[in-house]
Amino acid sequence: MTEKASNWKTISIRQELIKEVEEIIKTGRYRSISEFVSEAIRLRLEELMRTQGIPVIKRKVTLAMPETLLYTPKHTWCQITPEGNVRVGISDYAQKHLKGLANIRTEPIGKEVNKMESFGVAETWMFMFDLYAPVSGKIVKVNEKLKKEPHIVNEDPYNAGWIVEIKPKNSIILEQEFNSLMGYREYNQWVDKLEGRLRE
């Protein structure tokens, strides 16, 4: 009797969890169960690293992996910071095409930007590459290190080479804008298509 009750309880809890996840996905915060699971794993890893006394800087490096970010078709990535801002940079694919970065110029702190509008440029000795905002909001931080050392973007595009942080207008708009961004796998498929067109 106890074993049957235990089995019933396990199935009941599992069904309740599935229903909760489905409800969360309906809100638009996540586009799929796999995206929800990825975020849950990321948060759990962060919690484990924190309880094990791993320094904040090392935690950030571990968690700011390409697989955990969202991307635009214009090759910018974004990630929510613990403060609720959206950190923005360019993808590894983009930096490989911007070898020898000479300058990174952005709009100033306090400037309002709109999704998929330029918030700055990355300059090489050969050409300029527009930087597009993945979300709408106000620029609240600029990576000052890049003013003197723009090459950091080439060396570490997902960590030390971040470019700006944007404070979203509000959570509802942010969720809507996140919905149209690409996950890691989608972005790689997008890049493959681009490469195919370039070879044609």
Predicted confidence (pLDDT) per residue in 127-141, tens digit: 899 999 999 999 999
C-alpha–C-alpha distance, residues 46 and 37, integer Å: 14
Please state the domain extents for the chain: 1-63, 68-200
Q: What is the pLDDT of residue 135?
A: 95
Compute how many other C-beta atoms are within 10 angstroms of the C-beta atom of residue 118: 14
Q: How far is CA 188 from the centre of its chain?
A: 14
Tell which CATH classification among 3.40.1080.10, 2.20.25.10, 2.40.50.100, 3.40.630.10 matches the domain 68-200: 2.40.50.100
Helical ranges in the chain per DSSP H: 2-26, 33-51, 56-63, 92-96, 145-148, 152-155, 171-179, 184-199
Which among 136, 132, 110 has a CA at the least distance from the CA of 120?
Answer: 132
Looking at mean pLDDT, say which of 8-17, 158-167, 169-178 comes out highest: 158-167
**Residue 111: CA count within 13 A, CB half-sphere:** 15
Predicted confidence (pLDDT) per residue in 97-112, tens digit: 888 899 999 999 999 9
Mean pLDDT of the chain: 79
C-alpha–C-alpha distance, residues 116 and 119, integer Å: 9
pTM (whole model) above 0.75 = no
Confidence bin at 173 (pLDDT 50/70/90)? confident
Residue 68 pLDDT exceeds 70: yes
Confidence bin at 200 (pLDDT 50/70/90)? very low
Residue 195 pLDDT exceeds 60: yes
